[in-house]
Amino acid sequence: MATYDSVPRNVPLLEVRALQRSFYGVRALDGVDLVVEAGTITGLIGPNGAGKTTLFHCVSGLIPPEGGRVLFDGRDVTGWRADRVTQAGLVRTFQIARGFPRLTVLENLLLYGDGQPGESLARAIARPAAVRRREAALTERALAVAQRLNLTRVIDDPASDLSGGQKKLLELGRALMTDPKLILLDEPIAGVNPTLAREIAEHLHALRAEGMTFLIIEHHLDLIARLCRPVIVMAEGRHLAEGAFAEIAGDPRVQEAYMGRRRWAS
């Protein structure tokens, strides 16, 4: 993988232009514009109801936008279904970890490898050797991802037995199984104890150093301050401000957007 320093700077990996989406007349996204540059850990913050999660939904293909464009890695992916967007290299995690609680950690990872083996019975019957090779390669990848995220110890445990922080790591692992270029993380340390939160931050840092790009929603502003540059502030379905954390924290427009809604300091 490329090292961080070899990643070209100022290359827009994701470009969101004038994106719009309403729910029952409420404008969740009101023409939001933003860019995520390759090789960054970009933060996305803003008061409750600002439209952050809806932005993730529309960018990742969970729901279609009603206006505007989503450009990713040189392609217009607007309105693409989530599986196709994932194949293009853009994957997201959820605020509440998903996955299959009764399956083991390994099984959960294997389910998210691209072109899962056994998905096509016809192919398995026609080319069993190729399917076995593919299965072996996927298992190897899953083991590497688990090791990478310190999940080897619990690899045969059901996902339901994991701690809150380990579930977040599994969620990140499932994203890594798709071999992405950009990962959208929705509150990666919400409900996680401080020790594991630090560990998750270190993983993100290390992955970035290898060329991964992240866009992160997180209410723990200390994590955003430590990890993210730039930080984008959304309010009322729009891009309000952007810069290093210290810059946006001192911006009166940002303070006003937060006032009376959510405690600014954390």
By CB under 6 A, name the binding residues for ligand ADP.
23-24, 26, 28, 46, 48-54
Helices (H), 178-241: 194-209, 221-227
The shares of helix, strand and coil residues in the chain, as percent rounded to the nearest 5, are 40, 25, 35
Specify the residue, 47 or 173, whose C-beta has the smaller distance to ligand ADP.
47
Question: Nearest distance from residue 256's CB to ligand ADP, in Å?
Answer: 17
DSSP labels for 15-57? EEEEEEEEETTEEEEEEEEEEEETT-EEEEE-STTSSHHHHHH
Torsion angle defined by CA atoms of residues 17, 18, 23 and 24, in that order, rounded to the nearest 10 degrees: -160
Residues 60/30, Cβ–Cβ less than 8 Å = no
Q: Which does 100 bind (CB under 5 to 8 A by kind): ligand ADP, Mg ion, none?
A: none
Could you check whether the bond before residue 65 is cis, i.e. omega within 30 degrees of 0? no
Region from 16-24, 51-59, 116-124, 250-258 binding Mg ion, contact rule CB under 5 A? 51-59
Q: Closer CB to Mg ion, residue 22 or residue 53? A: 53
Cα-to-chain-centroid distance, residue 132: 30
State the minimum distance, in angstroms, from the CB of residue 52 to ligand ADP: 3
Give yes or no for residue 152 binding Mg ion (CB under 5 A): no
* Cβ nearer to Mg ion, comparing 171 with 199: 171
Nearer to ligand ADP, 58 or 162 (CB): 58
Judge whether 227 and 205 are in contact, CB under 8 Å.
Answer: yes
Mask 9-28, x = binds Mg ion (CB under 5 A)? --------------------
Q: Which of 53, 87, 116, 178 binds Mg ion (CB under 5 A)?
A: 53
Q: What's the min distance (Å) between Cβ of 105 and ligand ADP?
A: 28
Cβ distance to ligand ADP smaller for residue 6 or 48:
48
Number of residues that bind Mg ion (CB under 5 A): 1
Tokens of 79: 């309105």
Shorter beta-carbon distance to Mg ion: residue 52 or 174: 52
Q: Which two tokens stand for residue 197?
A: 């939160």
Binding residues vs Mg ion (CB under 5 A): 53
